[in-house]
A and B are shown apart, each in its own frame.
Chain A
């Protein structure tokens, strides 16, 4: 399904502003939305939390390494 609320320059700029305020990488949000969009059905629960965890690890480890 298309996520139109994230499309367009204005939406991008708005998302970036909110991410900057909360010190969240924009890519982390975009990829989480992609994960959410990929998973279908009740079986998704088995996979989605693993993928969310992996993605959050990726972004927090990257932050640690840059410190």
Chain B
């Protein structure tokens, strides 16, 4: 890719419309020389190329602009720069346009690869820069206009387009630079820029972008699914097993208690029979009273069980209050509706792609047939319409799932239970407690009557006592049995709920499997990107260090540097045969310039990027020997096209002779003064140079 034309309209000294035309470079002739004394428009040409390509971002490449500070300052600075760039002579001629148009061609790829980047600004009659900047990019001989997509922010789109097809702005400092200013690369604190350059040319930034996009993809997808944590699954399985084991133990205990109680009941009957066989009025009375007391006890036990059942069951829910219960009921119903809506959407979404495919092949066919772009738009519209059906969700749906651990079956069960609690009234509890009080009073009264009668005869007293103990024992066994049964019932309920939750979690896990597999793959790829970049860059950095050693050797006249090393953090060391870093000594400005040139040359060669190298005032700080070496080295190794912008004391005479065989084109910029204006008007003299 070479720069074929630079067209300038009212840009600084280039009044009116003026153009540099550069021929396609060949293997032997790849150098363009543009000569001008200071102040004639040489640096203005470099600035035009930087601003034309990168707009506001190009300010960082322009020595005379203030590109520091925050975005607002940068914007103001850019505006001020453009305002001052407009040729004052254009005001006199009422020409209100300023424009930079750059044409790049690729001799190997043909006319279709031609790229034109055009940036223009308009000014008011008072000479004030208007708002906005017109940026157009054309491709190919027929100048096909590059247009951002409807979702694209134009400035961002064009920046990315130029980065991809020409050169990213952050790497341009290695191609478009002022020979003196490039010395900054030689500073020790420039390691980050060196690293940026190396990584940029290797394409590392793209891998980092991929890493970033995969991270965003994973986060986005994860936020959309209800994850199943292995801890939850493990906890549910453990609890299920514990309950099942407990049920076995409790079942055995209930069986044992039942047998014992039955035996005790049999003993009660036996004792009662013996009491009956003793005869006598008092005995008969005691027997009747004992039977009455046994009946009362049975009723007390029965009511107590019922009370315990209420307490262990729904009383705690009832105590939460009707308002809270009703709110929970409404919320669960709304979540159930949302789940049903999502389920319907997921079922349908799986068929949308089939629908689009069927739509394309369905009869009648589109006439005229759809272009690729129209088909893509149609498919996007169908997807968008399908998504729109579900947004907003149906009336009555919850906005989100708060009880994510519940399945819709669970929600229905909870709703049923809440309904049952609603039927449990305070009255029922009061009645139960009241009846129990009365029954206990009856029991005490009967006990007292029996005691008063049973004192009559010793055998009767003993038998009565034995009978009383036996019935008490029977009652205790019965209570233990019922308590065990209640415990079993509670555990069975919990087992049912645990199994249901476990099934729901396992189903969710199964449903999430395909997405989880994708996320796991994305995360594994992210894990390898970093280490791969480190190792691959280290190998390439060694290559660059070797090339830098060669370039430095070719350009510097000091022979004490044996080897150049670049560390992992991109610190560069110039080592003597004794492994002493000569950069720890104070180098001259010229030596630093040679060092920077060697770095740029090495990066160019290692990366083999095809982009013109444009150097303004390349030799200002160099002595004669270095000048020859630098010119020769860049002419031979600088790449496809090299444009030197030289003062009248730089690439002249013997130094021009070094390049002579490689020169493809020369320009001399002259100036002509008009009227009262002190600034001259640039005049391009094609195929001329300093004599």
Contact = CB atoms under 8 A, between A and B. Distances in A.
A53 B224 CA distance: 14
A41 B179 CA distance: 33
B291 interface: no
Nearest to B166: A1
B202 A5 contact: yes
A66 interface: no
A19 B528 contact: yes
A60 B515 CA distance: 9
B521 A48 contact: no
Interface in A3-25: 3-6, 10-11, 14-15, 18-19, 21-24
A47 B181 CA distance: 41
Given A24-B524, A42-B153, A63-B517, A18 B210 contact: no
B163 interface: yes
Contact of B514 (A15, A43, A57): A57
Interface string B73-113: 00000000000000000000000000000000000000000
Contacts of A2: 203, 609
Nearest to A40: B160
A37 to B, nearest CB: 6
A50 to B, nearest CB: 10
Interface string A36-57: 1100111111101100110011
Contacts, number: 122
B535 interface: yes
Residue among A15, A33, A36, A64 facing the most chain B CB atoms (10 A cut-off) = A36
Size category of the binding interface on chain B: 35 or more
Size category of the binding interface on chain A: 35 or more
A36 B164 contact: no
A6 B527 CA distance: 17
A41 to B, nearest CB: 3
B607 interface: yes
A6 B203 contact: yes
Contacts of B157: 40-43
A23 B527 CA distance: 11
A23 B524 contact: yes
A10 B168 CA distance: 26
A5 to B, nearest CB: 4
A60 B518 contact: yes
B149 A41 contact: yes
Contact of B531 (A6, A11, A18): A18
A6 B532 CA distance: 10
B527 A5 contact: no
Nearest to B519: A56
Given A40-B157, A40-B161, A41-B153, 10 more contacts: A5-B537, A6-B203, A24-B521, A36-B213, A37-B206, A42-B156, A43-B148, A44-B152, A53-B518, A64-B517
Interface of B: 148-153, 156-158, 160-161, 163-164, 168, 201-204, 206-207, 209-210, 213-214, 216-217, 220-221, 514, 517-518, 521-522, 524-525, 527-528, 531-533, 535-537, 539-540, 607-609
15 contacts: A1-B206, A4-B203, A5-B203, A11-B539, A18-B532, A22-B528, A24-B521, A32-B214, A33-B207, A40-B161, A41-B158, A43-B151, A49-B213, A53-B518, A64-B514
Q: Which 9 A-B pairs have the closest CB atoms?
A: A41-B157, A43-B151, A3-B203, A43-B152, A56-B518, A41-B152, A43-B149, A60-B517, A5-B202
